[in-house]
Structure 1
């Protein structure tokens, strides 16, 4: 059995009709003093059809037209409650819940590449000019075996990349030092954290 159009509605019924949560209606009541539902024992709110139309107009202005709360307050002051209530959906129309509307919206995400001017080139170049290795004589297997096992272990860090290149390089100009300084500072901070953990 459905209610007559003139019947009072509870806050949950009005929330379902508008497709919003009940707390949204309470919030609007605190912001728009024109919304005055009848309060019965226990603080239960009952909305008259005119209250519902006013809330429907407020919802349209806020959610569909994108007007701010202050903007809607100004419209209510300047143009009146009847104007805003006339914007409402019909009392027999039920709005689609907003959570379902928002779930169907897909916003594509594209990462913005950093400008190339902000990137630091950390290529240190070759540590020292390397001579071309002598070509092995296929008839001399002992020469191949000697190349496979180095006589000493390189003392450079086993991190590879910039750390190894910096270790092997002996001359640094001011520009290169400015580029390396932030990396070295971060590396020192990480090493300090590791040392503090192992000491503690």
Structure 2
């Protein structure tokens, strides 16, 4: 029997619809305060239509576009919950095709051995050329990713946040 479009959904129904495990939905509730399912006796969760749309938007950005949790939180802060719910309903806005500053592009230092650069008019040897390393943005993204992974590890290990 098919549910009405505006009916509440259980966590198992939402998990199946989004193709994510239930524990991922519970984890997202800890990271996105905007997700507020109704809770009934025994802690059973019932998701409203707006909650499901928001979860679909979160999933689309995390899994489809490659955003981090911090990046999605930033989008919610800058553009609002309705923007993410629109994405979840398939009404993607212009400008969402690429994670703007959320995912820095990978840069690998390369050195041309055929035409080495000149330093003060002299040809530099490859030993004198140092790779640029990570940018500050890349370093910050790595720190945020590490924090997310550490939090997930603690949750999976059953630890409480300190």
TM-score interval (norm. to shorter): 0.5 to 0.7
Q: Does 1:87 align with 2:87?
A: yes
Partner of 1:87, secondary structure, is helix
1:15-54 counterparts in 2 under 5 A? Answer: 15-54=15-54
What CA deviation, in whole Å up to 9, does each residue of 1:62-103 have, x standing for no partner?
00100100000010011000000111156xxxxxxxxxxxxx
Return 5+ residue gaps in structure 2 as ranges. Answer: 91-162
Partner of 2:34, secondary structure, is coil
Return 5+ residue gaps in structure 1 as ranges. Answer: 91-200
Query: Normalization by structure 2: what TM-score?
Result: 0.54
Partner of 2:56, secondary structure, is helix
- Return the alpha-carbon distance in structure 2 between the equivalents of residues 82 and 65 of structure 1: 18
Aligned length: 90
**Structure of higher CA gyration radius:** 1
- Return the alpha-carbon distance in structure 1 between the equivalents of residues 40 and 76 of structure 2: 26
Partner of 1:7, secondary structure, is coil
Q: Does 1:78 align with 2:74?
A: no
- Return the alpha-carbon distance in structure 1 between the equivalents of residues 69 and 87 of structure 2: 16
1:1-200 counterparts in 2 under 5 A? Answer: 1-89=1-89
Where in structure 1 do 4 or more consecutive aligned residues deviate above 6 Å? none
- Return the alpha-carbon distance in structure 1 between the equivalents of residues 66 and 80 of structure 2: 19
- Return the alpha-carbon distance in structure 1 between the equivalents of residues 74 and 47 of structure 2: 23
- Return the alpha-carbon distance in structure 2 between the equivalents of residues 70 and 7 of structure 1: 30
- Return the alpha-carbon distance in structure 2 between the equivalents of residues 27 and 89 of structure 1: 22
